[in-house]
Structure 1
């Protein structure tokens, strides 16, 4: 599993505000190759039904102690709740439908693109695809979706050796980083 490094730049209860912030960040990025990944922590049959409609053929695995089953072994996700369900390489146009289906479920949307722009003020050239992401954690305070929350957090991802790019990016769109730069599993 690969990792990137992420730093929070916005936390709010206003989901529309988080998506506007993502839009401003993506305007800075090289999005010639843009795709979106989704993940959600699903606990009820109703949540599973809603999210299965927008994440067809999603990978899933149970979370919690002593859990079993997965999409790999052909199990039925409804019989293994709670589960973590994820779908990779979706079209950016799918974000709105996914976010609408999420409701109160802890979920993640990650935009994956070609790279960040040059940041000459901090001595950095153009960023490459590895380490160039934006993530919104919906109804969760952390990237692993383990801490449910009534708010949503936007993270910028950068290479660890280019940590100064995170505050630079935030400043370009009128935001500030907070918290520490943290390793983020992909």
Structure 2
């Protein structure tokens, strides 16, 4: 199994504008087998409680190596803040999750069957580890390491089909705004 590669196509302080771009991209995608993955760095009990209401079965673990703790061990997450919290849920959980994380660094990744054909650049349907959209909120990178006052939309493609990223951006009236980077699993 290989990683996808991601390229940013929008950076904005307007979360609703970022979600609109995601929706436009999803309209051209083959959404068969759609899954939505959620990840956040949680640093406060208030945010933790809000996120747990939206994603009650989320896995979590400590972010810092010296402070062991995880949902797998049955630990209390509030005793181990800051934590990384991750879950998979339905698309209906996206907006409640974004409201719950408030200003915490977080990502939402839509994983689906395939991108459409792009005959003008010589590409057929694109899928199998290369058909994702990620919205990074309050952070600039997919690894949740660069806090930011804005939000970034990334399109994911196979490395061998890197030219699909600018093509996808053009389909929603945008262009790529950064480098193609290997996405985390």
TM category, shorter: over 0.9
* Partner residue, 2:170: 171
Offset at residue 41 of structure 1 (A): 0.3
* Structure 1 unmatched runs, 5+: none
1:84 aligns with 2:89: no
Q: In the alignment, is the contact (CA less than 8 A) between 1:2 and 1:185 conserved in 2?
A: no
Q: In the alignment, is the contact (CA less than 8 A) between 2:2 and 2:129 conserved in 1?
A: no
For 2:65 and 2:35, the matched residues in 1 are separated by: 32
Q: Secondary structure at the match of 1:153?
A: strand
After TM superposition, the structure 1 = structure 2 runs for residues 89-108 of structure 1, keeping only pairs within 5 Å, are: 90-108=89-107
The two structures have a TM-score, normalised by structure 2, of 0.96
> Which stretch shows the higher mean deviation, 97-106 or 14-23?
97-106
CA RMSD of aligned residues (A): 1.1
Q: Secondary structure at the match of 1:150?
A: strand
For 1:99 and 1:82, the matched residues in 2 are separated by: 18
For 2:128 and 2:90, the matched residues in 1 are separated by: 17
* Structure 2 unmatched runs, 5+: none
For 1:5 and 1:124, the matched residues in 2 are separated by: 16
After TM superposition, the structure 1 = structure 2 runs for residues 54-93 of structure 1, keeping only pairs within 5 Å, are: 54-88=54-88, 90-93=89-92
For 1:130 and 1:139, the matched residues in 2 are separated by: 25
The two structures have a TM-score, normalised by structure 1, of 0.96
Question: Matched residue pairs, number?
Answer: 185
For 2:175 and 2:66, the matched residues in 1 are separated by: 40
Q: Secondary structure at the match of 1:105?
A: coil
Deviations 1:17-62 (A, max 9, x none): 0000001101110012212110110001111111111111111111
Q: Secondary structure at the match of 2:180?
A: strand
After TM superposition, the structure 1 = structure 2 runs for residues 37-52 of structure 1, keeping only pairs within 5 Å, are: 37-52=37-52
Q: Which runs of 4+ in 1 moved over 2 A?
A: none
